[in-house]
Chain A
Amino acid sequence: MKAKQSLGSRLAEKVSGGLLRVFLIVVGLFWLVPTIGLLLSSLRAPEDISASGWWKVFTEPSQITFDSYAKLLENEDITGSLLNTVWITVPATLLVVIIGSLAGYAFAWMEFPGRDWWFLGVVGLLVVPVQVALIPIAELFGGIGIFGSVIGVVLFHVGFGLPFAVFLLRNFFAEIPRELLEAARLDGAGELRLFFRVVMPLGGPAIAALGIFQFLWVWNDMLVALIFSDSGSQPITVALQTQVRQFGNNIDVLAPGAFISMVVPLAVFFAFQRQFVSGVMAGAVK
């Protein structure tokens, strides 16, 4: 078909193809530039930042310095909050995966009265906004003495992570061929063994997608931690948030701090793109 095209239409195709490339490159730059701006700002001294824009480093590369990072890593508020982020994110992710798998398996393969109604109830909770729970849970946690602790933040994330976890895993587990489960059963596997030896390994892709999704969700959260953590248990997002009030005077804390907080999510993103995308696609409801 190509060969039959006239010279004119081939030329038009060339031109429009060129325009398309230029357009996409410009758009791509627009998407990259803000992040590059943050990175380069974090690599300049505060005096330079207040004197000129970050693009100045292209003409004066000598401005680049790691001083802000060095200073930041000596700042115990920041390093402590980074650790808190880890202490919050890892358990909140593991708990959601484990508890969600147990329930997902029960909803997929066990028999009990009202099974499907219970499951639909959980699905209904998928889109409940976290805002509904902020005030009641603050009172509840205050009452049992875990307000302001890492445990409270973790619990809240687990609670609001579970509907999606159960939804995703139940649907995935339900697709496991019955014969596989029966074969294991005939080999004498009990319910627990069946769960850990057959269901969990077969559910790998869904569990990975869920885990990555939940990990990024919790790592990046600010609102929940803003309310349920205190100065000793706050994650990096909250620690940086308190600095935003004086924006302009402390860009040497904010820029490198924001970049450090992005490093882990970006690494996870680039390492597990496929799982992340499938998690996001399945999690479109959240």
Chain B
Amino acid sequence: MTSVPAAGGTKPPAAPKSRKSVTGTRRTVAALFLLPALVLLGALVVYPIGYSVVRSFYDQSGDGFAGIDNYKALFTDEGIRTALKNNIIWVVFAPTVATALGLIFAVLTERVRWGTAFKLVVFMPMAISMLAAGIIFRLVYDQDPDKGFANAVWVGVHDTFSQASAFPKAHPGRDSPLEPAGGGAFITKSPVRAGEAVSLPLVGVAPDLMPDGAAAAAKPEPDKVTGTTWQDFTRGKGVGTLNRVDSAELGYAGMKIEAVKDGRVVASATAADDGTFTLPASADGAQLRLPASNFKEPYNGLDWLGPSLVTPAIIGSYIWMWAGFAMVLIAAGLASVPRELLEAARVDGASEWQVFRRVTVPLLAPVLAVVAVTLMINVLKIFDLVFIIAPGSSQDDANVLALELYRKGFSEDQPGIASAISVFLLLLVIPVMWFNVRRLRREVRR
């Protein structure tokens, strides 16, 4: 499968080479050389194919002829349908992404001196078992961002781009003008008046989460509601003057404030760095509310192994294992691409992207096809990674055909249906089988 398939048609046929026996072997000797292999292949590979085909037409116990009932189950059984759907997702995405990454890595590593080291790192997962890879990725996908690497990175990225909840756990202190408003929000006990400065003190935000702008008392402005929201507490100095802005205290920069009249939000504002805010005159007579979005728990990352993400997550681990395989095969193909072609394109003024798109990729197309087809066959039979990574609670959602076959055949005692699944898998690889044989026949018969 490694030689370029299309090349077979264009290469001039090799000079016929005689492989007649040099010893004039007797047939019995040939038979002895072949016997072990043929017996084992017959008993362990050929016979099972026949057995499975026959078995797939019999019912659960194996006594009654079931016609095509077992094959009907492939498309009616809820579990198998999920498996089929997931297998399609696998076959479409895993080989294409792995091949694309392999191509990118193969092309890029040619340009750095330590390309070999990089290739070694990416190729290494090929050497380990899917079980080990599964355990590795169970750790990576741990839901807790403090333990699972995937969520640690994801939450880091997420929090960089959106500081949604700046003040988890903030709450009113003693004698506060604020009271809980339900759902985690806080609201002033009494309505506010334009022209006076409002105090909205809270406590309880961990020092490392606090913005570092010092709080300032807001100046009253006529026709406007002004105020300050701040942490009415300083570590080491206590609350200072209760409900009054002290010099060492910090403002809640970014706190959202809503003015509520009769249950409707009439105005809203966001606190400045020093915790001050200004609301228009329309807020006169309203109560000020600090909505719950200010206080919600910190973002906790994605549920990688939950029902909706489990299949993409496992495909990710597969790509981690097999992108190196694609890369190595493609790099070997790349090494045989004539450099003059690439140079010629560059001399003609083609950009690097054009060279890649118009010269490199078309020349590599046969190799890319071989890699993608190989990965497809491989993905069709995917079992270990799903079996290990998907937790019991979402294994049904991550189901694939090979796993369903294992369940049906070895824990649900449904050998008929399991055989039908195996025959179905076999049918899917028959085109590749046929292609291999046809290509080799040309080489062999010369």
Using CB atoms and an 8 Å cutoff, list the residues of chain A in contact with chain B.
17, 20-21, 23-24, 27-28, 31-35, 37-38, 41, 49-50, 52-55, 99-100, 102-103, 105-113, 116, 118-120, 122-140, 155-156, 158-160, 162-163, 166, 174, 178, 181-182, 185, 190-191, 194-195, 216, 219-223, 226-227, 237, 240-241, 244-245, 247, 251, 254-255, 258-259, 261-262, 265-266, 268-269, 273, 276-277, 280-282, 284-285
The answer to whether B332 touches A24, judged by C-beta atoms less than 8 angstroms apart, is no
Q: Of B33, B43, B49, which contacts A128 at CB under 8 A?
A: B49
Q: How far is the CA of A33 from the CA of B153 in the complex (A)?
A: 12
**CB proximity of B91 to chain A, nearest CB, Å:** 13
Known: A102-B37, A282-B1. 6 other contacts (CB 8 A): A28-B121, A102-B36, A103-B37, A110-B33, A135-B51, A160-B45
**CB proximity of A145 to chain B, nearest CB, Å:** 15
**CB proximity of A31 to chain B, nearest CB, Å:** 5
20 A-B contact pairs sorted by A residue (CB < 8 Å): A28-B121, A31-B122, A111-B20, A113-B27, A116-B444, A132-B422, A133-B49, A135-B51, A135-B418, A155-B40, A155-B44, A162-B40, A166-B37, A185-B23, A221-B129, A227-B406, A265-B127, A265-B129, A277-B328, A285-B436
Q: How far is the CA of A109 from the CA of B306 in the complex (A)?
A: 57
Is B335 an interface position by the 8 A CB rule? no
The answer to whether A222 touches B27, judged by C-beta atoms less than 8 angstroms apart, is no
**CB proximity of B389 to chain A, nearest CB, Å:** 9
Closest B residue by C-beta to A276: B127
Is B138 an interface position by the 8 A CB rule? yes
**CB proximity of B26 to chain A, nearest CB, Å:** 9
Using CB atoms and an 8 Å cutoff, list the residues of chain B in contact with chain A.
1-2, 17-23, 25, 27, 29-31, 33-34, 36-38, 40-41, 43-49, 51-52, 55, 105, 108-109, 111-112, 118, 120-132, 134-140, 146-149, 152, 320, 325, 328-329, 332, 370-371, 374, 377, 380-381, 383-384, 387-388, 391-392, 402, 405-406, 409-410, 415, 418-419, 421-423, 425-426, 429, 432-434, 436-437, 440-441, 444-445
With a CB–CB cut-off of 8 A, which chain A residues contact B22? 109, 178, 181-182, 185, 194
With a CB–CB cut-off of 8 A, which chain B residues contact A160? 44-45
With a CB–CB cut-off of 8 A, which chain A residues contact B426? 128-129, 132
Q: Of A20, A126, A128, which contacts B112 at CB under 8 A?
A: A20
Closest A residue by C-beta to B50: A136
Closest A residue by C-beta to B346: A1
Q: How far is the CA of A244 from the CA of B390 in the complex (A)?
A: 10
Q: How far is the CA of A116 from the CA of B22 in the complex (A)?
A: 17
Check A24/B118 contact, CB under 8 A, given A102-B36, A106-B30, A133-B44.
Answer: yes
Closest A residue by C-beta to B391: A247
Q: Of A20, A103, A268, which contacts B108 at CB under 8 A?
A: A20
**CB proximity of A75 to chain B, nearest CB, Å:** 16
Check A129/B52 contact, CB under 8 A, given A99-B36, A103-B33, A266-B124.
Answer: no
The answer to whether B149 touches A268, judged by C-beta atoms less than 8 angstroms apart, is no
With a CB–CB cut-off of 8 A, which chain B residues contact A269? 124, 126-127
Q: How far is the CA of A240 from the CA of B133 in the complex (A)?
A: 12
With a CB–CB cut-off of 8 A, which chain A residues contact B27? 112-113
The answer to whether A191 touches B120, judged by C-beta atoms less than 8 angstroms apart, is no
The answer to whether A131 touches B405, judged by C-beta atoms less than 8 angstroms apart, is yes
**CB proximity of A215 to chain B, nearest CB, Å:** 11
The answer to whether B52 touches A136, judged by C-beta atoms less than 8 angstroms apart, is yes
The answer to whether A134 touches B30, judged by C-beta atoms less than 8 angstroms apart, is no
The answer to whether A135 touches B52, judged by C-beta atoms less than 8 angstroms apart, is yes
The answer to whether B135 touches A120, judged by C-beta atoms less than 8 angstroms apart, is no
**CB proximity of B138 to chain A, nearest CB, Å:** 6
The answer to whether B370 touches A284, judged by C-beta atoms less than 8 angstroms apart, is yes
Closest A residue by C-beta to B37: A103
The answer to whether B445 touches A284, judged by C-beta atoms less than 8 angstroms apart, is no
The answer to whether B139 touches A126, judged by C-beta atoms less than 8 angstroms apart, is no
